[in-house]
Copies of this chain bind each other. A is one copy, B any other.
Amino acid sequence: MATTTVTRRRARTRQRLLDAALHTFAEEGFGRTTVEQVCERAGFTRGAFYSNFSSLDELFLALWEERSARMLDEVRAALADLDPDDPEAAVRAAVAAAPVDDAWYRITAEFTAHALRNPGLRRVMAAREAAIRDAVLPVLVAALERLGRRVPDERALGDALVAVHDGTAVQVLTQPDDDAVRARRQALFMNVLDVYSTPEDSA
């Protein structure tokens, strides 16, 4: 195909721009980031930028989609091989799969704020969140069943876990050196799993 190799070049600079943008967004904030900054970091000129994206907004969305999709994959992979006999370990693995990454958190925080201003983006974000939830949920439900626990309201459990994940992420990031915070986070996950599932007999 004629376009194959040409597209390679394109894809490479595109990727570089995305990487540069990731770091610039994290350091400067999305709103404070300029096209020039991204280009300089990536080692390109603005011409290259505008040949790949029509605006910073477009790049921002592309970046977010790429990264969140990748994270979703990682979560799926990590959950694929859980130890069915050790619920603590399972939770630990699941939590580790959706790590609290400083730079990425800042970006999603701003993306969230951004999306709340734009109905289109808001739907995109909601869909992605739902996808993550729906990927994680069946695995956890299965794990719980192997432990002899049923989940009466999967949706409620899913929302609760997502909320706990997001909510505690801030705490962990604002107190990065406090292990107790991390421990409480872990405990809260366990508690939620416990509360939103019931022992066998209630079927």
Residues of A within 8 A of B (CB): 27, 29-33, 102, 105-107, 109-110, 112-117, 122, 125-126, 129, 155-156, 159-160, 162-168, 170-171, 173-175, 180-181, 184-185, 187-188, 191-192, 194-196
Shortest beta-carbon contacts, A-B, top 10: A31-B31, A167-B167, A163-B167, A166-B167, A109-B113, A31-B32, A106-B113, A163-B168, A29-B31, A126-B174
Cα separation A159 to B185 with both chains bound (whole Å): 9
Given contacts A31-B30, A110-B113, contact A181 B168 (CB under 8 A): no
Number of copies: 2
Cα separation A154 to B8 with both chains bound (whole Å): 56
Q: In the complex the two chains form, is A116's CB within 8 Å of B181's CB?
A: no
Cα separation A180 to B160 with both chains bound (whole Å): 13
Q: In the complex the two chains form, is B129's CB within 8 Å of A174's CB?
A: yes
Q: From residue A58, how far is it (CB to closest CB) to chain B in Å? A: 15
Q: In the complex the two chains form, is A163's CB within 8 Å of B175's CB?
A: no
The residues of B that contact A125 with a CB separation of less than 8 Å are: 174
In the complex, which of the residues B105, B107, B162 contacts A167, with contact meaning CB atoms closer than 8 Å? B162
In the complex, which of the residues B116, B126, B165, B170 contacts A112, with contact meaning CB atoms closer than 8 Å? B170
Q: In the complex the two chains form, is A106's CB within 8 Å of B117's CB?
A: yes
The residues of B that contact A30 with a CB separation of less than 8 Å are: 29, 31
Q: In the complex the two chains form, is B156's CB within 8 Å of A184's CB?
A: yes
The residues of B that contact A180 with a CB separation of less than 8 Å are: 155
The residues of B that contact A196 with a CB separation of less than 8 Å are: 191
Q: In the complex the two chains form, is B160's CB within 8 Å of A188's CB?
A: yes
Q: In the complex the two chains form, is A156's CB within 8 Å of B29's CB?
A: no
Cα separation A163 to B192 with both chains bound (whole Å): 12
Given contacts A112-B170, A114-B29, A191-B195, contact A126 B175 (CB under 8 A): yes
Q: In the complex the two chains form, is A174's CB within 8 Å of B117's CB?
A: no
